[in-house]
Amino acid sequence: MSREEVCVEVGLVLTKSYLARYPFLPEAAEYMRMLDLTSESLASQELKPIVDRAEERIEESLRTNPPIVSYGLYDDEIEISSFPVAIMMASSIDDEYVRRRYALAEARRVYSLLLEDDEEVILHVSRSFNWRIEPSESQVGNVKIYCFKLHFADYLRNVRSFNEKEWKLVNRVVKGGWVYLMKREAARLLQEEVQRSIEKKLDLNVRRILPSIIIDRADRLREKYAANIKRMKREELPKEAVKGAFPPCIRRLYDAAASGSRLSHVGRFTLTSFLLRVGVPPDKVIDLFRSSSDFNERMTRYQVEHISGIRGSRTSYMPPKCSTLQTHGLCPSIDDTCRGANHPLTSYRRRIRMLKRESAADTR
């Protein structure tokens, strides 16, 4: 096995570039064994770029929102080698929220890369998790509808935390125990699998056997982002959007989009970025715009995924501030939750807290 071309499966060449994109694969672990790096050698000046990149992977998860780890800024060897080092570093941070956030950031990176890659890549990555998955030839005319069919047991294992109706088994195409999937759906399920796999690797007990250079970097990250971590924990929103907590500006934009009314560019951007921030999946945001007379799925999908940070610059965009919405005539009224707020998300968080208090009062 050469260090450049790791293996070939079904015409898929697993190069260093491939392993740099998906460093959690078994072939990447085998490649690391070939490099023969040890925890003691990480203190050497020669390996400093690897340790630096490992630290940056975690830092990106604390700096970006939603969290995502970048790709393409470093050479392949650093990308491959820095992943297990980042796992060690994140493991030594005594904060479950940080560890979960890092795992999510790596998993979201995988999702964005899988959307760009061929279907053979999804097959290989999914089989590394022992998925029972096959290509699907399901099509209508000359249009391919489903790319894959996945055994229902593997499907159910990865949709446990999904609450959207579209993921319920009764709403899926199922034949002979196989659940049929589009490419982006398979990628989303793999995101869940990767996140769970990384979380299992983040073992707190490893700290006592790690070299001081790793522990020192981890402690520095925790100290540097202490205020940010505290704020993110406090501001962490419910996993699912609460429509009843939408501020007046978002509620009006949402209702207009649902009824097929055309929104201004600023209005579409505001609604899309807000919905993505509060937990609405990209596919649901796209569906919201289907009633519009000028709906173009390819263009809408690109715009939504670009705003979410899945495509393009990997930057997840924030909704505009209240002052910007007022300038563009998108602020219909100000209610009690808006007073003193300078951002729609601030108003949303207030409404969430208010609804929680009301719910608690009702149960007394």
Beta carbons within 8 Å of 328's beta carbon, 6+ residues apart = 264, 266, 267
Q: What are the CB-based long-range contacts (under 8 Å, 24+) for 155-164? A: 155/179, 155/189, 158/189, 158/192, 158/193, 159/189, 159/192, 161/192, 161/239, 163/239, 163/240, 164/281, 164/284
Residues 91-133 have pLDDT tens digits of 988 788 888 889 999 999 999 999 999 999 999 999 999 999 9
Per-residue DSSP letters for 175-218? ETTEEEE-HHHHHHHHHHHHHHHHHHH--GGGGGGS-HHHHHHH
pLDDT of residue 12: 67
Beta carbons within 8 Å of 125's beta carbon, 6+ residues apart = 22, 25, 110, 114, 190
Closest CA to 348 of 283, 295, 282, 276: 276
Alpha-carbon distance of 283 to 184, in angstroms, equals: 9
Closest CA to 250 of 355, 332, 342: 332
Give the H or E element holding residue 148.
strand 148-151
Residues 285-306 have pLDDT tens digits of 999 999 888 889 899 999 998 8
Beta carbons within 8 Å of 278's beta carbon, 6+ residues apart = 237, 241, 242, 345, 348
pLDDT of residue 65: 76
pLDDT along the chain (364 residues), means of 10: 40 82 94 80 85 94 86 88 93 85 94 93 96 82 78 93 82 93 94 94 77 88 82 67 89 92 92 90 90 88 88 78 90 78 86 76 58
Torsion of CA 199, 202, 205, 210, to 10 degrees: 180
Give the H or E element holding residue 174.
strand 174-175
- The token duo for 171 is 């709403």
On the 0-12 / 13-18 / 19+ scale of CB atoms within 10 A, 355 is: middle
Alpha-carbon distance of 67 to 195, in angstroms, equals: 12
Closest CA to 198 of 36, 284, 343, 88: 88
DSSP secondary structure code for residue 239 in this structure: S
Alpha-carbon distance of 350 to 248, in angstroms, equals: 13
- The token duo for 138 is 């399901």
- The token duo for 187 is 């990628």
pLDDT of residue 10: 42
pLDDT of residue 357: 75
